[in-house]
Structure 1
Amino acid sequence: MKLMIYSKTEKTIVSDRLILRLFKESDAKNVSIMCNNYNIYKSTLSLPYPYSLECALSWIVNHEQNFALDRMYELAITDKNSGQLYGAIAISNHKQYKNGEIAYWIGEEYWGNGYGTEAAKAMIEFVFKEKNYHRVYARHFKSNPASGKIMKKCGMIYEGTLKDHIYKNDSFEDMVYYGIINPMKKV
């Protein structure tokens, strides 16, 4: 994989096959269709279900401001050539701690193509190089090991499991944590 290319003016991150870009209002319909999926809902912490067009629009409305204010970077995962929307990736910016939590979802019809891993690697490289993060961390439900595989492929290290940490869908879920320290930073 080539290194990611960040365009400050376009607010885009380009990798081998993908362009990570700000969501547009015109993406809302596709977002609502992809997220109105029980298989995505059950493996995410805070995604509502059912997921309406209004949910998508209210989610997208603050992305540009969050990016401009360095609060959070919430980007669409799209095909570099066709522009097809595959999913979303976001990372918080905890400036006082010099770290952030990365999260992502991929539309079910695009699972298994490596888009989540490629997007996550590009996003991690972006915050390490461009935003000077010291650390990135992520968490997933133990019942969703595919998300953990993405974390491992990005070089993240298993840090621990919080037993019965989340109550969702009438049962308790273990939460598994991973993290990575910026390899380019000197302590």
Structure 2
Amino acid sequence: MLRLRRFKTDDALLLINYLNNPEVMQFLSPKIPNPYTIDDARWWIETGSKAGHTFAIEQNGHFIGCIGAVAGEFEYSKSAEVGYWLAKEYWGQRITSQALVLLIEKIQQSNDIVRLHAVVFEGNTRSAKVLEKVGFAQEGCLHKAIYKQGDFHNALVYGKVIA
């Protein structure tokens, strides 16, 4: 059974394990520390994960990833940016698309967000397929918008109106 829940102290060691996998980190924001340490995990559990609608993804009682949406400010206050990652051993099982559906349902029930968007590194076809599967559409390409580890990457912007 798949569910979304708040992060717990017990998630720290798995956070470290999952986020020190180069394949998991490949398309994630450089704001996530690398290497990922116990202090990083503690900060995330106690502070970082409290922003917006941020949840641990749990399957059959096991923490396996993260998903969230953080609302914008001012004129973007009715929109939220979606982000997610999943432990490598769970890839290819349609878990992320199921988690995204659960997240959208939570957002629709709890506030007045009407639009979601996500930014995907060009070349991250897995993430693009997840978004498209749940009704997001590619809205544009921001050329050389992402700078990570000395390289520029195009950012594909996906959006979905949910209300």
SS where residue 85 of structure 2 aligns? Answer: strand
The aligned residue for residue 84 of structure 2 is 104
Letter in 1 for 2:67: I
Separation (CA, whole Å) in 2 of partners of 1:113 and 1:94 = 31
Among the aligned pairs, what percent are the same residue?
30
In the TM superposition, structure 1's runs of 4+ consecutive aligned residues that sit over 4 Å from their partners are none
2:6 aligned residue (22, 30, 47): 22
Aligned residues: 160
CA 1:92–1:157: 2 relative to 1, 3 Å: same
- CA drift of 1:169 comes to 2.2
2:22 partner amino acid: Y
- Paired AA for residue 89 in structure 1: I
- 2:71 aligned with 1:87, yes or no? no
Q: Distance in 2 between matches of 1:110 and 1:89?
A: 14
Aligned Cα root-mean-square deviation (Å) = 1.5
For residue 161 of structure 1, the aligned residue among 138, 141, 156 is: 141
Structure number with higher helix proportion: 2
Q: Where in structure 2 are the equivalents of 1:60-79 lying within 5 Å?
A: 60-62=45-47, 66=50, 71-79=51-59
What amino acid does structure 2 have at the position aligned with 1:94? G
Q: Which has the larger radius of gyration?
A: 1
Shift of 1:74: 1.4
TM-score, length-normalised on structure 1? 0.80
The answer to whether the 8 A contact 1:158-1:179 is kept is: yes
Q: TM-score, normalised by structure 2?
A: 0.91
Q: CA deviation at 1:132?
A: 2.2
Map of 1:54 onto structure 2: 39
What code does the residue aligned with 1:38 have? Answer: P
Using the alignment, how far apart are the partners of 1:83 and 1:159 within structure 2?
36
Partner of 1:120: 100
1:173 counterpart SS class: strand
Look up the equivalent residue of 2:14 and give its one-letter code.
N
Residue number in structure 1 paired with 2:151? 171
- Please state whether the residue corresponding to 2:130 is helix, strand or coil: helix
The alpha-carbon deviation at position 118 of structure 1 amounts to 0.5
Q: Which moved more, 1:104-113 or 1:54-63?
A: 54-63
Q: Mind listing any 5+ residue stretches in structure 2 that lack a counterpart? A: none
Please give the alpha-carbon distance, in whole angstroms, between the structure 2 residues aligned to 1:163 and 1:175. Answer: 6
| Conserved? CA contact 1:36–1:49, under 8 Å | yes
Give per-residue Cα distances to partners, 1:116-139, cap 9 Å, x unaligned. 111011111221232121101101
